[in-house]
Structure 1
Amino acid sequence: MRIIEDKESQVLWDTIENEYCFRPCCTKDRYNWIVLPMPHKKYSLKEVWSETTEKLINSFFEELAEDNLFALNWQHDGFVFSPIEYNTINFEYYDKTRECNVYFPTYYPNGDYFFFFDKNYKIGLFGHPWLREVLVLGKKLIQKFDSNTKELGILEIKE
């Protein structure tokens, strides 16, 4: 795992904001907060995900990701990581060099927008904290979510 440098982070956020029309908002009213032109599915989150649920989602990424993933946390550090190393990641630590706390996001959007995706945007998980919903990107990842709706505590939102 590594923290994404500012320049690389800006390129990623520019893509998400300009190409995918990401519009953050603190409302609980339904709106198009991101527009994904590729196949995706939206799910409502009925409950906060447990550690077991987080590991299940990570197992999907372990199986499907061809390379490292990006983990973006709106207004915070972004990361490049391998799903294989997910279980060993220190999710919160103090960065002595920058003199600040660093928080690696969970897959559940617990208070901020969290985005996990591969470099080609073939698979991904985009989470909205106030609407308590996720958009799942990629046919095979969608199949994994559809096959595990009960375990994940999710309901499909028809668009």
Structure 2
Amino acid sequence: MMESPVVELCETEYGRVWDRFYDEFEFQPSMSSSKWPAIKEPTASATWSLAALDDDPEYERLDRLVEVVEQGLKSCMGPSGTLLALDWQHTSYRFAPSNIGGPGQPAWPLSPYPDGDYYIYLSENFRMGSFGHPWEESLCLFGQEFLDAASAEVEKLLGQPIRRSGRAVGTT
């Protein structure tokens, strides 16, 4: 187990993790809509538009969305699991979700909401997490266990997904 519940990735590990993310998710960062969704969304995934949050002046739905994603990840990771929190071209972290976010504990690093950059939560085996796209203004959740834990509440907040398993909803 880690000494601290949140640790910054060292330069070597940062490079290794990002190289693997680029490879496994075919990550192509771009502000151009012709290049979106920027990752190859996994088979067990759902992606929502964040447009429903545009009329949320008190941030109540945004706060609830963050809470739902954090709770879902925490429940899937169990008491000893760790996650990666990746911020494209910025400091990234490894953290123990069971030891953060509560009274007297450190806050979660980053957010599932992509506030100006790609924000990614990722399990150590890269099979579960979230991908926030700042320019598409979308949030992709992936990994069946995580979807089972969080997608119903996310749909209540954001509406129907725009994509499932990387395919636009309504297409075959």
Q: TM-score, normalised by structure 2?
A: 0.75
Select which of 71, 86, 89 maps to 2:100: 86
Residues 30 and 157 of structure 1, relative CA distance in 2, 3 Å threshold: farther
The equivalences for 1:66-105 within 5 A come to: 66=78, 67-87=81-101, 88-90=105-107, 104-105=109-110
Correspondences of 1:143-158 after superposition (within 5 Å): 143-158=148-163
AA in 2 matched with 1:54 = V
- Matched with 1:65 is 77
Cα-to-partner distance string for 1:49-94 (whole Å, 9 max, x where unaligned): 5333322221111110141000000010000011123313257xxx
The residue correspondences of 1:100-139 to structure 2 (distance < 5 A) are 104-139=109-144
Equivalent position amino acid for 1:63 in 2: S
- Conserved 8 A contact 1:128-1:134: yes
Deviates further, 59-68 or 28-37: 28-37
Task: Say if 1:152 and 1:30 are closer, same or farther in 2 by CA, change over 3 A.
Answer: farther
Relative to structure 1, the CA distance from residue 27 to residue 143 in structure 2 (aligned partners, 3 Å threshold; closer, same or farther) is: same
1:27 Cα deviation after fit: 2.9
Is 2:44 the partner of 1:39?
A: yes
Larger proportion of helix: 2
> Quick check: 1:70–1:117 contact (8 Å CA) kept in 2?
yes
RMSD: 2.1
Shift of 1:6: 0.7
Q: Distance in 2 between matches of 1:149 and 1:55?
A: 10
Distance between the aligned counterparts of 2:9 and 2:72, measured in 1? 23
> 3-state DSSP class of the match of 2:149?
helix
| Structure 1 residue 151 displacement after superposition | 4.4
CA drift at 1:30: 6.3
Q: Does 1:54 align with 2:54?
A: no
Structure 2: which amino acid aligns with 1:84?
S
Q: Which amino acid aligns with 1:106?
A: S
Structure with the largest fraction of strand: 1
Other-structure match for 2:147: 142
Q: Is the 8 A contact 1:58 1:86 kept in 2?
A: no
SS in structure 2 of the partner of residue 156 of structure 1: coil
Match of 1:10 in 2: 15
Match of 1:20 among 22, 25, 37: 25
